[in-house]
Structure 1
Amino acid sequence: MSRPYTIDSDVLGFADRLTETEKSVLAELRHVLETKVHPYLNDAWSEDRFPTEVVEPLESLGLMDPPALAAAGEPVRDLLVAFRNFELARCDINMATFYNAQAGLFRTACVVGGDEQQARELDEKIRTYQLRGVFALTEPDHGSDVAGGLATRAEQLEDGSWKINGAKRWIGGAFDADVLCTFARDIADGQVKAFLVPRTAEGVTLEKIQRKASLRIMQNAEITYTDVVVDADARLRNINSFKDVASCLRLMRSDVTWIAVGAMAGAYEAAVRYVTQREQFGRPLAGFQLIQEKLARMLGNVTSSLALAVQLTEQQASGVYKDENSALAKMVSASKLRETVALAREVCGGNGITLDTDVARFHADAEAVYSYEGTHEINALIVGRSITGTSAFV
């Protein structure tokens, strides 16, 4: 039976651009998130662990190639993918990050970075979870400067295989991956290449990053590669420089914008639920002027950021990809997310620092979104370079 699909915080009706079939896919996703994912989140966040109970319900939906769309003869449109990220983040930022480690980062690296044969063979396995992987780019000493500073090294041996040495950090989902899509600098030409390294390969060690105050459900790893040897076929053949890596990142930056917008909506809606139920001074908090002003600001943030995200997605769907536009969208939406989750926490008062209202989880996890996939400062410099025609990167 089909479920209705409406978004309380989508006051201008951006979801009306979706087809009825697409809405049914998202309605089913929301039902699964509310009934089979959300009940596990707060305990898992508090205990700094990933709830394995949520994996099968999410994967069984086939969201990368929804059966309902195939039955209706409809393509998987960019706007559906965007609202999929919105729904995941509206429930929980960790879940959106977990899902996109496979469906966004890893899949894009393989489909764009592989040659025609690799892309065809890998994509089928990725969509059906026969092959699980992660995108291993960031390093212990290189994040924003990874383009020029990437220190992991790859050396091609006489038999055509490759030997990799180095380290990666902040790699979410690595502990459950079959392969680690590892970016390393070829010592022969100094260019960055990509390799699908088996997680269990000799010389690969993973260590969980401890004591995180954000994104506690998503398990992040520091990975060390010590004389790790992989076959020649493990190299993604269309990644031959960091320019090629940047092409992958350009395609994925809008995903983070949608995660930010979805999380804003989730925090706003959680705050509205709380203030309409909580009474102080003999009446609901929702009846106080100061509370209503904050709710209005939060809704304004959601609405303006949603408009920005939709326009960016539709522009990209038409084939127009501009670094400065995706950077602007990520920069603005992540900043508005920070403000929105802070306001959500405020209106929930003391209870807002507990996990029970959900806003504390959004409040803490927003800090990760603010930094990952391009910090505010780096995105600002990309936009500034476009505005002035002059690069301020050093």
Structure 2
Amino acid sequence: MQKVCVYAFTEPNHGSDASSLNTTARKVPGGWILNGQKRWPANSSFADVFVILACNISNNQINGFIVNGGAPGLKISKIENKMSLRVVQNCDILLVDVFVPDEDRLPGANSFQDQVMALSVARVMVAWISIGRRGRASASHAYICRYLGERRQFGAPLAAFQLNQEKLVRMLGNIQAMWLLGWRLCKLHDSGGTMTAGQASLGKTYYKRWNRTHGSQSRHGRRWLWANGIVTDFHVGKAFCDMESICTYEGSYDVNALIVAREITGISSVRPASRL
């Protein structure tokens, strides 16, 4: 039987500062009582199982707990009026005295450090969303090549203009670099788990830059389509909007850059005893 699972970490008041959660877990006979709020977990409105990260009030460590959908005290509300990734149902989660039996506390999830590798793998997965064969960059490049070949201005297809040809080459170079960086991160992860948190954050950081800054795939695609670039019927316009979400979740550019810098220098600029 297949089930939809949700990993609930981020809270309304704690995004980048993910180690300072307000959701609490209090030990009671036979299990735990969870209280708190989560924000943004995707597809929570129809999820079967929730993995809730909460602060164990007995030792102030971050623990993981399995909560079944429909559990008493679990309330889900869909976040409305999104401008990006509209196909995904992001939600607010409210936990009011939710009971979790002892056997549904995740084994090994005894501190925030135990969550770091899961977060790192998630950052690599998000990076691949922006590049993969059906991801934002590769799909946008393929669509743009077709569009420029079909769209004619001044008696010639747009693909015939030298400025457009140069940009297509620049985009393809960026895409190939992104493919190689993603492949390298996966190889590091598969070879005995040698990928570090800083390496994963480096991938997320530069995928974001390549996909969103002035010379990026989504921005070039949006410009090439001109008026058509703001219409959702054209796939490049969707990719352009969705990149705003992809650049944010699993850590913003700035936070991921600081994680990489900490690994380079050995010094945390977030706070001296950072657990990020």
Scaled by the length of structure 1, the TM-score of the pair is 0.65
What is the distance in 1 between the residues matched to 2:98 and 2:188? 42
Kindly state the Cα deviation for residue 389 of structure 1 after the two structures are TM-superposed.
Answer: 2.0
Structure 2 residue corresponding to 1:155, chosen from 23, 26, 36: 26
Q: Which runs of 5+ in 1 are unaligned?
A: 1-127
In terms of fraction of residues, the more strand-rich structure is: 2
Q: How does 1:17-56 map to 2 (within 5 A)?
A: none
SS at match of 1:336: helix
Match of 1:304 in 2: 177
In the alignment, what sits opposite 2:157?
284
Q: Which runs of 5+ in 2 are unaligned?
A: 272-276
The equivalent residue for 1:137 is 9
Displacement of 1:188: 1.0
**Deviation of the 1:281 alpha carbon:** 1.2
- Alpha-carbon displacement from aligned partner over 1:249-299 (angstroms, at most 9, x marks no partner): 123322122112122111111111111111111111111122222222211
Aligned to 1:392: 269
Q: Deviations over 1:78-119 (max 9, x none)?
A: xxxxxxxxxxxxxxxxxxxxxxxxxxxxxxxxxxxxxxxxxx
Q: 1:322-343, CA deviations, whole angstroms, 9 ceiling, x for partnerless residues?
A: 1111111110012111121010
Q: Which residue of 1 aligns with 2:218?
A: 341
Give the match for residue 38 of structure 1: none
Distance in 2 (CA, whole Å) between partners of 1:355 and 1:237 is 44
CA distance in 2, matches of 1:229, 1:135: 18
The DSSP-based 3-state class of the residue aligned with 1:295 is helix
* AA aligned opposite 1:170: W
User: Does the 8 Å contact 2:116/2:197 carry over to 1?
Assistant: no
Whole-angstrom CA distance in 1 between matches of 2:62 and 2:33: 14
| Code of the aligned partner of 1:298 | M
The offset of 1:318, in angstroms, is 1.4
The SS at the match of 1:210 is coil
> 2:127 maps to what in 1?
257
Deviation of residue 194 (structure 1)? 0.8
2:118 corresponds in structure 1 to: 248
Residue 166 of structure 2 aligns to a residue whose secondary structure is helix
Whole-Å separation in 2 of the counterparts to 1:380 and 1:274: 35
The residue that corresponds to 1:190 in the other structure is 60
Alignment match, 1:373 = 250
Question: Deviation at 1:314?
Answer: 1.4
Q: How far 1:190 moved relative to its partner?
A: 0.9
Deviation at residue 238 of structure 1 after TM alignment? 1.3
Q: In structure 1, give the amino acid aligned to 2:218.
A: V
Alpha-carbon distance in structure 2 between the residues aligned to 1:164 and 1:389: 36
What's the CA shift string for 1:37-91, capped at 9, x where partnerless? xxxxxxxxxxxxxxxxxxxxxxxxxxxxxxxxxxxxxxxxxxxxxxxxxxxxxxx
Distance 2:236 2:50 in 1: 33
The residue number in structure 1 matching 2:141 is 268
Paired positions, count:
264
Distance 1:245 1:318 in 2: 20
CA distance in 2, matches of 1:235, 1:241: 13
Q: Using the TM superposition, give the Cα deviation of residue 348 of structure 1 relative to its aligned residue in structure 2, in angstroms.
A: 1.2
Q: Deviations over 1:310-360 (max 9, x none)?
A: 112112221212111111111001211112101011111111111222001
Counterpart of 1:313 in structure 2 is: 186
Aligned CA RMSD, in angstroms, stands at 1.2
Matched residue type, 2:266: G
Q: Alignment partner of 1:371: what SS?
A: coil
Higher mean C-alpha deviation, range 272-281 or range 290-299: 290-299
1:361 & 1:204 partners in 2: Cα distance?
33
- 1:216 paired with 2:79, answer no
Amino acid at match of 1:336: W
Contact 1:294 1:347 in 2 (8 A): no
Tell me, yes or no, if the aligned pair for 1:270 and 1:357 is still in contact at 8 Å. no
2-structure distance, mates of 1:229, 1:211:
32
- Give the aligned residue type for 1:282: G
- Counterpart contact for 1:167–1:222, Cα < 8 Å: yes
Structure having the larger proportion of residues in helix: 1
**What TM-score comes out, normalization by structure 2 length?**
0.92
